[in-house]
Structure 1
């Protein structure tokens, strides 16, 4: 069973340990997020959401202003910044201890968010493919970068699901891009396999089942974002609002396969999943050591 080495992320001078998994709480300031309950309108709703994240144990807030749901409408950079600005101001001025990630694929938005509001991390769904200036910008800003796997754009990704071997293709994708980032001097890179992006429902489950294979080759920590996604609610004949139980179950499988950051709408259940999973660790390690000893001594 894969478990990556002890890792830390430098979030604006705060060292976040990933020795055990942590939770990233989603804050949506989009009017069209696929999960309607997560949409935030107004400053008081925003404060309530942030207070909930902190109370329930989120280690990072991930703020997004551009919906990446399939078929989402295009949003200009100016509109994206207009939506982000009030939330970033409140997070900077009223919640300075909470590290903030901004979910954007635009280098100009990333630079603005880091320089004007002290954002600690950039979460790029395109892995740099939608803005050639993203990698140099991240290298200049020296902030951690979440590198996600996606083909095409949010508008076209549903048509780009043809893989020779899903996991090998993802490994090749990450090796190439991590190499480019490392050559530019980017130090803290988190890998997001991109559940729901350029993958069929069946491919999402293949990816989850084989996710530990990524960790055998790639030393970077893995982020998993499956919260209330269609791979859950469509399979179960539900709506996103009904998909919390399925999300929690799959979080357990993701943790078992090496996830170090869970990006979620519901923080408390994810924190509980981590605590329950961690409670098994001493016993799993003992069983694995016993199996290794018996295998090597021929005592079966």
Structure 2
């Protein structure tokens, strides 16, 4: 179904005026400090917490945090977990935090662990996919990134010479992808929007340049007892991409500027939870994110 967006002229890309109009319509709906920063503060007894930058927008500044293993060993493989690249994808943020609170300690003997729980706090607060400049951070992991959210985490990893062997990027696919975010994208670009079928269940996006089919399969098997895996649609696809094995599609991450493409990790995946399913709930969605990270680490433990 084709939808026209409330801002802009159909067929004409947005200029600065339209982007400002879009930004003026956004409002704070939840609190980054209360929901995220306070939980990070409680982790300081077990982990090192570092500020890797600050987002500065007209109305607000947001400190950005990574949580790291306290005893860092250069001879151990490193695991990177990222959440909240798209701030509106709630279980990505809370799944990263809950992993640190419950599961991470079980893997410290084998891995260095570094978690960036919420890369896009403005998007978290306003429940948005984009940042205030109408830029999608998860298409901006490129050199000279136009998005502060991506540039700052990439700079931090480079400065500290962090080269993960495993990277799990936590995301959601929601009904608002069709009702809001895809129509907004088409309007911004001056193109026509055609909604995709929202998969009912959990799935993964692999990087086609380093697919690691057994790694993806191990994660799916770990998540299965927690929540249901999305079946393919009538065309054998999930969100328009062919399903290459149960619950897995693939994209070429680096050319698309995706978060999972920002490192050369051997084992990399993007999780996708469907929180709007009648067959799940918010707690189960967070648990599925944690299970996905656990499955990734259990598989990679003797392969890095």
TM-score (norm 1): 0.30
TM-score (norm 2): 0.30
Which structure is higher in helix share?
Answer: 1
